[in-house]
Each structure stands twice: as C-alpha cells, then as structure tokens.
Amino acid sequence: AGDAAAGKGKSAVCSACHGADGIALVPIYPNLKGQNEAYLEGSLKAYREGQRAGGNAAIMSPMAKNLSDQDIADLAAYYASLK
C-alpha cells in the first residue's frame, strides 16, 4: 500500500504542474486533490508503460518512466489524502 507521507516527499516535481495542494496550475492538467488512489495508480502505470498517447501523455510518460511501483503507490496515496 502507498504511504502518503512518503508520497509527499516524492511530489516536488508533480506539484510544479498539479499544485502543492493538488489543484492544477493550468487547466489542461488535472486536479489530483482527493482523487481516487486506485485510479491514480492505474493512470501513472499506464503512462509509465507508454500505454498512453494524446492528452498530456507527451509530458506524463517521461515523468512516470522512472517511478517504481512503491513511488506510484506513495504518490497516489498522497494526492488521494488531500482534502
């Protein structure tokens, strides 16, 4: 399972676009605040595996490329925990 505190520590890069509070700075990026943990994991893994094109894939695939399963679980737990 993901560790939200560990996820916070790994979210510096993410917050540049998704906001420190999980509210995206630019409307073409999604808000992540309070999003479903399992959904976030599925999306990050799809980006990591290069299963997505279109939308924001050109930005997100490189971002997710080097994330471990634990990184993904922690980040998902962190953003899901934001209320």
> Rule CB under 8 A: which residues touch its own copies?
24, 27-31, 34-39, 42-43, 45-46, 49, 51-57
Tokens, residue 58: 């050109």
* Residues 79 and 22: beta-carbon distance below 8 Å: yes
Closer by beta carbon to its own copies, 8 or else 22? 22
Nearer to its own copies, 56 or 81 (CB): 56
Residue in the block written with tokens 């080097």:
66
CB of 12 to its own copies, least distance (A): 21
> Measured between alpha carbons, how far apart are the two ends of the chain, in Å?
19
